C-alpha cells in the first residue's frame, strides 16, 4: 500500500513537472530597456522602438518592455557596467563612453574607414557576433552581449562659435566634443582640442561657450535641438562616427528561455540591417533642416581635403600602434574589420 502510494506520488509529481514546463517557458517577461537619450530621440524611433516591437511580436506577447529614457536608470557613461550588473536589462550603450573597457570597438569609429552606415554597421555586427574577434576579445570578457550594432552617419564638424572657418588651419585650438577613442586621435591630428562628453551635457556646454562645437551626425543634432545654436558646419566629409549598441548583460541573457534568446538575436540582426538603412535615408533631410535654421556650410578646398585624408590615415596607424602597445590585438582587429567592410560593400 505504501509502495503504491509512493508510486502515485512520484507519478503525480512527474505530471506536475511536465505541466509546469510549458508554463515556465511561456512565462510573461518584462525587460527594462534603458537609454540616455531623451524621449523621442531619432535613435530610439529608428532602432529601439522597432526592435522592441519585433521582439514582442515574435514572442506573441511573451516579452514586453518597460522604457526608461533620459538616464533614468543611470548615466550614459555608466550604462555598460549597469547593464552587466542587472540595473537595466537591455540598454543603449556607446562602447567608447567606456573606452577603458572597450578600446577595440573604436576601430569602427576611425575617420574615413567606411563609405555608408550599413557597410560599417554590418561589418561591426560580423566581428562582434558568432565568434568574431570583438566578441571573443572584448564583449565576451566584459560579460556584455550586443544585440543591435549601428554605425551612425559620418560625423561632421558643427560649430556654435562665431569664429569664421575657411581652411583646415582655422580649426586649430577649437574645443570640440568627442566620445573618446579614435575620435580624440582624429581631432588632435587636425589641431583641435578634444573634449570627452556624453551627449546630454552638450547643449549647455555649447551655450556657455565651454565647447566650441561637436563632431556629430545631423540627425542627432536635430534630436538634441542644436540647430538654433549652430553657426557653421561641414558637409560630405567623414570625421569618423560613433558605434552604438543595444546590449544585454550575459547573465541576464542566459537566464532567459531559449526561445526568447533566439528571438532577441534574430530581432537584433534584423534591426541592425533595417536600422542602418533608416539612418542613411534620414541624414540628408536632417542636414537640410539644420541648414534651414541658419547654419552655414564650411566649404573646404582640395588642399584642405588632402590635409584631412593624410590625417585620417595617420589616425588609423596611430590607433593600431596604441592598441598594440596596450597588449591588445590592434593589428588583428583592424584587419578583421577592414576585411568585413570589403565583404559587406
* CATH code of residue 303: 3.40.190.170
Which residues have C-beta within 8 Å of that of residue 330, sequence separation ≥ 6?
Answer: 104, 319, 320, 321, 322, 323, 324
- Domain contains 21: no
- Domain contains 12: no
Query: Which pLDDT tens digits describe the chain residue by residue (345 residues)?
Result: 444 444 444 444 444 444 444 444 579 999 999 999 999 888 999 999 999 999 999 999 999 999 999 999 999 999 999 999 999 999 999 998 899 999 999 999 999 999 899 999 999 999 999 999 999 999 999 999 999 999 989 899 999 999 999 999 999 999 999 988 788 889 999 999 999 988 889 999 999 999 999 999 999 899 899 999 999 999 988 899 889 999 999 999 999 999 999 999 999 999 999 999 999 999 989 999 999 999 999 999 999 999 999 999 999 999 999 999 999 999 999 999 999 999 987
Residue 221 and residue 277 share a domain? no
Residue 327 and residue 188 share a domain? yes
Residue 248 and residue 209 share a domain? no
Which residue range forms the structural domain that includes residue 172?
156-241+289-344
- The pLDDT tens digits of the residues spanning 274-294 come to 999 999 999 989 999 999 999
Pick from 267, 282, 297: which residue ends a domain?
Answer: 282
CA dist 27 and 25 (Å) reads: 6
- Domain contains 23: no
Domain tally for the chain?
2
- Domain contains 4: no
Residue 265 and residue 197 share a domain? no
> Virtual CA dihedral for 199, 278, 226, 231, nearest 10 degrees?
120
CA dist 130 and 238 (Å) reads: 29
Kindly report the pTM of this predicted structure.
0.83
Which residues have C-beta within 8 Å of that of residue 7, sequence separation ≥ 6?
Answer: none
- The pLDDT tens digits of the residues spanning 198-234 come to 888 999 999 999 999 999 999 989 989 999 999 999 9
- Domain contains 334: yes
Which of 262-297 are b and which e, b meaning 16 or more Cβ less than 10 Å from the residue's Cβ? Answer: ebbeebbbebbeebbebbeebbeebbeebbeeebee
Residue 138 and residue 223 share a domain? no
- Residue from 217, 247, 221 nearest 51 by CA: 247
Grid coordinates of 54: 519585433
Q: Cell numbers 602597445 label which residue? A: 325
Helix ranges (DSSP H) in 86-181: 117-127, 133-134
Which residues have C-beta within 8 Å of that of residue 52, sequence separation ≥ 6?
Answer: 33, 65, 67
CA dist 127 and 106 (Å) reads: 13
Pick from 231, 259, 282: which residue ends a domain?
Answer: 282
Residue 215 and residue 326 share a domain? yes
Grid coordinates of 228: 538654433
Contact 188, 194 (CB under 8 A): yes
Residue 277 and residue 254 share a domain? yes
- Domain contains 91: yes
pLDDT value of position 91:
98
Amino acid at each position: 500500500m505504501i509502495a503504491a502510494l509512493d508510486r502515485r506520488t512520484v507519478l503525480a509529481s512527474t505530471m506536475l513537472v511536465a505541466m509546469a514546463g510549458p508554463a515556465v517557458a511561456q512565462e510573461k517577461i518584462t525587460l527594462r530597456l534603458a537609454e540616455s537619450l531623451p524621449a523621442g530621440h531619432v535613435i530610439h524611433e529608428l532602432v529601439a522602438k522597432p526592435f522592441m516591437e519585433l521582439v514582442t511580436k515574435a514572442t506573441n506577447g511573451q516579452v514586453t518592455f518597460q522604457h526608461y529614457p533620459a538616464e533614468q536608470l543611470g548615466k550614459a557613461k555608466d550604462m555598460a557596467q549597469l547593464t552587466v550588473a542587472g540595473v537595466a536589462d537591455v540598454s543603449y550603450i556607446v562602447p567608447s563612453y567606456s573606452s577603458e573597457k572597450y578600446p577595440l570597438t573604436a576601430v569602427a569609429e576611425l575617420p574615413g574607414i567606411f563609405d555608408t552606415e550599413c557597410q560599417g554597421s554590418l561589418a561591426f555586427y560580423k566581428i562582434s557576433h558568432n565568434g568574431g574577434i570583438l566578441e571573443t576579445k572584448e564583449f565576451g570578457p566584459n560579460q556584455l552581449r550586443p544585440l543591435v550594432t549601428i554605425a551612425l552617419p559620418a560625423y561632421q564638424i558643427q560649430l556654435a562659435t562665431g569664429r569664421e572657418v575657411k581652411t583646415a588651419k582655422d580649426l586649430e585650438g577649437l574645443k570640440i566634443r568627442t566620445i573618446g577613442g579614435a575620435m580624440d586621435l582624429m581631432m588632435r591630428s587636425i589641431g583641435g582640442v578634444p573634449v570627452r562628453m556624453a551627449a546630454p551635457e552638450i547643449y549647455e556646454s555649447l551655450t556657455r561657450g565651454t565647447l566650441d562645437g561637436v563632431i556629430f551626425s545631423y540627425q542627432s543634432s536635430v534630436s538634441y535641438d542644436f540647430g538654433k545654436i549652430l553657426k557653421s558646419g561641414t558637409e560630405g566629409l567623414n570625421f569618423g562616427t560613433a558605434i552604438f549598441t543595444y546590449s544585454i548583460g550575459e547573465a541576464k541573457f542566459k537566464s532567459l528561455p531559449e526561445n526568447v534568446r533566439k528571438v532577441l538575436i534574430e530581432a537584433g540582426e534584423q534591426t541592425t540591417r533595417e536600422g542602418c538603412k533608416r539612418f542613411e535615408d534620414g541624414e540628408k533631410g536632417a542636414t537640410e533642416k539644420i541648414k534651414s535654421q541658419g547654419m552655414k556650410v564650411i566649404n573646404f578646398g582640395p588642399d584642405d581635403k588632402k590635409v584631412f585624408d593624410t590625417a585620417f590615415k595617420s589616425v588609423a596607424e596611430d590607433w593600431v600602434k596604441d592598441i598594440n602597445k596596450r597588449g591588445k590585438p590592434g593589428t588583428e582587429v583592424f584587419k578583421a574589420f577592414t576585411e568585413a567592410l570589403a565583404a559587406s560593400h
